[in-house]
Homo-oligomer: A and B are copies of this chain.
């Protein structure tokens, strides 16, 4: 039961083109959703009083656009969101720039891995992870001073997201709560659901979760002093510390800071890392460092959950790292990220309405924009999608406070030209929203006179 586009028989625009544009706009605006089935051409032709070939031509254009997936005999379906997003200027996903992926190097590495380790990689593996990658990561962690071979262990996970899921499952008791600071990123909110609280003093809090460097979504980075305080509190207290450290290597300016775990946080501190942000998120490989006791519990939960992580990706990322290619890749990513961040900050200055604020991170993939009071970033998003631009509104990052005025801008995956293009399209929409908001603004109540 989709809403039918308006077709104007008197227009100079061909009928198939009108139909195509109407449907395209419905998809971009989200009225037609990923997986929705379009009506059979015959039905739609009857309903709109069009020739069936006209409808087919419109569907063919949508397919060419990648907005619709047609299968003979199965009908036409609105296409997967990720493919859709790659066509619009999407500030809505915290992910790396795929045009920077060194595809030839990854091909070389893959060939290398398949030449030497194919049999090992294809056979059932250990819940702890692919042995050689685990050993490599342990040696790196020892060299960095975040791993004590006598006390600690390391578990490979399917990305950082799975580490959160396993921690929830294995280390947080029923009814136990996890303290996080708002805004929180959706992956974190999803992993802990109702066990998440913004109140550190709530009864039942068993863990605290922090992202000390370039936190998603704000890009905020903790000072050395803050890190020391948390390390001390963790060592002296009984709560777990879950330190998400997936962005720290994406520092475009300023000096690197140590992890909280390395500042003497003690055996209750878990350190979560991943290749997703620094290499390729499609290969799902992350890891957790912690005391032998905690990692043992997580490894058991890992085995229950999915036996072990995919081994081919682990072997490829090992070879990519060990051969020095990851460092070279990171060099290029940092150079590009520096320009992208600067471009974003500069353009935001120009296009945002007066009274807006935004964070100014020194790294990572995200920053946080707050529009003038009374603006609704969700309402603007609908219009933005029609302009072919998207971002993630504040409500996706909320636990307790509505944050309608704010939104996350993920800049790392877009070229500078697309960043400028996208933000310039957003500018007038925000300007308009700010005007509406100021008109409907309740005046601040005067001081009560008694």
Interface residues of A (CB under 8 A from B): 35, 69, 71, 74-75, 80-83, 93, 95, 98, 101, 103, 106-107, 110-111, 114-115, 118-126, 128, 131, 135, 139, 142, 149, 153, 157-159, 161-162, 165, 187, 190-191, 193, 276, 280-284, 303-313, 316
Beyond A119-B98, A119-B101, A149-B74, is A312–B303 a contact (Cβ under 8 Å)? Answer: no
For A122, what are the chain B residues with a Cβ–Cβ distance below 8 Å? 98, 101, 103, 106, 280-283
A283 touches B310 (CB 8 A): yes
- Closest B residue, CB atoms, query A134: B80
The residue from B114, B307, B312 contacting A161, defined by CB atoms under 8 A apart: B307
How far, in angstroms, from A159 to B306 measured CA to CA in the complex?
7
Offer 30 A-B interface pairs, CB within 8 angstroms, sorted by A: A74-B149, A75-B149, A80-B131, A82-B123, A82-B124, A95-B123, A98-B123, A103-B114, A103-B122, A110-B110, A123-B280, A124-B282, A125-B282, A158-B158, A158-B309, A159-B306, A159-B307, A161-B306, A162-B305, A191-B305, A282-B310, A282-B311, A283-B310, A284-B306, A284-B308, A306-B306, A309-B310, A310-B312, A312-B316, A313-B313
The residue from B124, B159, B305, B316 contacting A93, defined by CB atoms under 8 A apart: B124
How far, in angstroms, from A107 to B111 measured CA to CA in the complex?
7
B161 touches A126 (CB 8 A): no
- Closest B residue, CB atoms, query A165: B305
Among A71, A81, A157, A280, which residue has the most Cβ atoms of chain B within 10 A? A280
B125 touches A114 (CB 8 A): no
How far, in angstroms, from A26 to B311 measured CA to CA in the complex?
30
